[in-house]
Structure 1
Amino acid sequence: MRDPRMSAIGKGLRRRGRLMAQAVSPPRRNLDAMPAPRTDGDSYTAPPAPRLVDSPVFVLSSVRSGSTLLRVLLNSHSRIRAPHEMHLRTLHINLSRDFTADAMKALELDKDELEHVLWDRVLHLELARSGKQIIVDKTPPNTLMWPRLHRCWPNARYIVLLRHPGAVVASLTDRRTDPDHEQIRAEVLDYSEKLDEARRTLDAHVMTYEDLTAHPERTTRGLCEYLGVPWESTMLDYGDKDHGDFRPQLGDWSPTIRSGRIQQARPADPTAQLPPRLTELAKAWGYPVD
């Protein structure tokens, strides 16, 4: 039979062991409920990571400047993939804890570069799915952030698509149900300033919507030469190709673009009054201004 005295001693030793373990081992804590430790990760700038798409093409333009027409003409080429507006600038990375930034810093990454990697992966995925060799993104708001695109892709190529600012103002005014004329002029000016900045800074192919609609073959031949691909007459018959849905937020969805035919651009109203800066930019782009 077991000695009851030995059993009591054993119980005492086990209890003493548990108390010692509690003394040296702090209780488990809920990390999600704890304040995140501070870090200097926000001040870190990561070097560029390798890109899957080394030289994407970006169409820089104002809204209502014919970028959807240009997209479908390019997308009709056998070697060029030009999908709907991709809105890369709205794809963000959320580093939800401060130590996440530290972890990424150890991998030579920061929030901006993580977003660049994501953007690059999206372009590469779309290009691979298409089976083509060149990808073009024509999202107009890219114009407002072109310096960051240039930082993300140092070897990117750019098509600067101009349209008479007065015609852009008129097109936006017609499109809005209850147009705020002052707000529309301010919006067009914002786009025009960044577009002119890109035109003067980048080694870009500059063209106009008016030339594209008036001389589509000549204009698309120049584009193909810039992109290093042979011109294809099928580009002008974009209505024979599948370009996806034409709907809001993805590009122009008007009957003009749905017609499948290149139609002459509507000229600017020569009697319309523009703000002085828009008049100045129109002149710099070679447009006649009264």
Structure 2
Amino acid sequence: MAEEPFRPPADPATDRLLVAPIFILSPVRSGSTLLRSLLNAHSTLHAPHELHVRRLRVEFGTSLAERAMGALGHDRADLEHLLWDRVLHRELVRSGKTSIVDKTPANAFAHRRIAACWPDARFVFLLRHPASVARSWHEAGGGRRTPEEAALDALRYMKAVQRARGALSGCTVRYEDLTADPETQARRLCDFLGIGWEPEMLAYGEQAVLEKGLGDWKDKIRSGTVQPGRDLPGPDEIPEALRPMCRSWGYLPPGGGPEEGSEGSFAGERA
């Protein structure tokens, strides 16, 4: 089904309540709940559970309603954008903070529309070794997917994130760096967002929402502090379907070879 046309707000000053919202674009099972927990521990950032606002839809109950909205200059997508903005703004106001962070992984599939809805949005791209993502996605599936199916399904998200990185400016963070040196990565993010570093970010504490479908719910995230990540997969543990993405993201050298999967192979790529 073709994507419905959408456009930026006619007047951002009056059509949007949010100012510079922050979106974490990442594959599933890439550590986005950990990242949002660190950000949420900052005194100015409200990073709630996955909000899925882009799935909220507006329907015209009658043709007269559609005509009336058209006379005001609104099509269906415009009204949906108003709804999305109002929901996020209400959540931000209730938090008492100044900026909201949404980390819903499926947002990567709608990055163009999100950027059109909020022209001043800021983006953080979270990457993780593709084979680690696929393995974690398989484990989280409770047997519903084979390892091969999990890898292909996770790859859809990775490709969407890669498209978003090519289309949008932002800050790239790797899960492996975040778990190995959380302070350095948190400081990088604070610099990118123009806010001061707060040590409290590293001890984010128990989260109010730990529920499957709204974010990670496993023991690591429940610990309230950053836990070490898994060892990187060896070359023979990387499914063939994921090897091109591993190379694109710097987890394998461009031409492959015996050094594939060697320690530090992803170092140096930052956006």
2:266 is matched with: none
8 Å CA contact 2:6, 2:78 repeated in 1: no
User: Any idea what SS the aligned residue of 2:48 has?
Assistant: coil
Mapping 1:238-253, distance limit 5 Å: 238-239=204-205, 243-253=207-217
1:264 is matched with: 228
Partners of 2:112 and 2:162 in 1: CA distance: 13
User: Any idea what SS the aligned residue of 2:124 has?
Assistant: strand
Normalising by structure 2, what TM-score? 0.86
CA RMSD, aligned part only? 1.8
8 Å CA contact 2:131, 2:151 repeated in 1: no
1:107 is matched with: 72
- How far 1:275 sits from its partner (Å)? 3.0
Unmatched tracts of structure 2, length 5 or more: 253-259, 262-271
Alpha-carbon displacement from aligned partner over 1:2-25 (angstroms, at most 9, x marks no partner): xxxxxxxxxxxxxxxxxxxxxxxx
- How far 1:177 sits from its partner (Å)? 2.2
1:7 is matched with: none
2:251 is matched with: 287
- How far 1:54 sits from its partner (Å)? 2.7
Partners of 2:6 and 2:225 in 1: CA distance: 50
User: Any idea what SS the aligned residue of 1:222 has?
Assistant: helix
Quick one: structure 1 residues 46 and 175, their matched pair in 2 at CA, closer, same or farther if it must change by over 3 Å? closer
1:31 is matched with: none
Question: What is the aligned counterpart of 1:176 among 132, 136, 141?
Answer: 141
Normalising by structure 1, what TM-score? 0.80
Between structures 1 and 2, the one with greater helix share:
1
Partners of 1:95 and 1:59 in 2: CA distance: 31
Alpha-carbon displacement from aligned partner over 1:192-236 (angstroms, at most 9, x marks no partner): 111111112211101100100001000000000001100000000
Mapping 1:10-159, distance limit 5 Å: 48-49=10-11, 50-159=15-124
Q: How many pairs were matched up? A: 246
Q: Which has more radius of gyration?
A: 1
8 Å CA contact 1:83, 1:243 repeated in 2: no
Same amino acid, percent of matched pairs: 44
Find out whether 1:230 has 2:192 as its counterpart: no
Task: Give the partner amino acid of 1:255.
Answer: D
Quick one: structure 1 residues 43 and 163, their matched pair in 2 at CA, closer, same or farther if it must change by over 3 Å? closer
8 Å CA contact 2:18, 2:89 repeated in 1: yes
Partners of 2:177 and 2:168 in 1: CA distance: 21
Alpha-carbon displacement from aligned partner over 1:41-91 (angstroms, at most 9, x marks no partner): x99978535210131000000010000000110000001110111011221
Partners of 1:44 and 1:217 in 2: CA distance: 39
Task: Give the partner amino acid of 1:251.
Answer: G
1:201 is matched with: 167
Task: Give the partner amino acid of 1:190.
Answer: R
User: Any idea what SS the aligned residue of 2:57 has?
Assistant: coil
